[in-house]
């Protein structure tokens, strides 16, 4: 039989370990997060995901690619939210992977706002299989930098479109 303090210690340990292992745990201090939200829909429908920046340590430029299973999804629309300045996106939504870039060369200071960067609208293809389709962002640490031209650490968090 567990004594009360042993049971309390066990429960507390499990809670702490769960927090450390959680995929939603916060990034290391000074590290920003760029995250994709989730969506769901049936074949033939559309789904929209948000790309947000959180815990922004301050940047003037960022570049990344949007990677997804293009046999399941088709990118239809990309809409900038005007959080960062001077967006340059892929020439066509047909481009795969799709390229997102912001570069405010005339900035007098870092952009430190958190919030919505861009929304991505996908068509779920008619022959898409039920399940989850990951939407990932990939970027190089050298493609995220601040006003002093120092690289800024960010963690990229993927989202999903659940095909029902």
Tens of pLDDT along 111-157? 999 999 999 999 999 999 999 999 999 888 789 999 999 999 999 99
Looking at every residue in the chain, the average pLDDT score rounds to: 86
- CA geometry: angle 129, 132, 136, nearest 5 deg: 125
Query: How many residues comprise the chain?
Result: 164
Q: pTM of the prediction?
A: 0.81
Tens of pLDDT along 76-113? 999 999 999 999 999 899 999 999 999 998 999 999 99
Proportion of the chain above pLDDT 70, given as a percent: 82
Give me the phi and psi of 107, to 5 degrees please: -65, 145
Residues 6+ apart with CB under 8 A from 2: 10
The pLDDT assigned to 27 comes to 55
């Amino acid at each position: 039989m567990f004594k009360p303090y042993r049971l309390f210690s066990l429960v507390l340990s499990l809670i702490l370990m769960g927090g450390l292992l959680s995929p939603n745990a916060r990034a290391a201090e000074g590290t920003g997060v760029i995250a994709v939200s989730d969506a769901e829909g049936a074949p033939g429908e559309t789904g929209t995901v948000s790309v947000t920046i959180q815990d922004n340590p301050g940047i003037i430029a960022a570049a990344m690619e949007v990677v997804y299973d293009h046999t399941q999804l088709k990118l239809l629309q990309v809409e900038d939210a005007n959080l960062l300045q001077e967006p340059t996106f892929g020439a066509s939504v047909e481009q795969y992977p799709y390229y997102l870039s912001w570069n405010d060369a005339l900035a007098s200071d870092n952009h430190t706002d958190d919030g919505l960067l861009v929304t991505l609208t996908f068509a779920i293809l008619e022959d898409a299989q039920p399940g989850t389709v990951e939407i990932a962002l990939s970027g190089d640490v050298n493609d995220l930098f601040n006003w002093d031209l120092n690289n800024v650490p960010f963690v990229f968090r993927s989202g999903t479109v659940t095909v029902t």
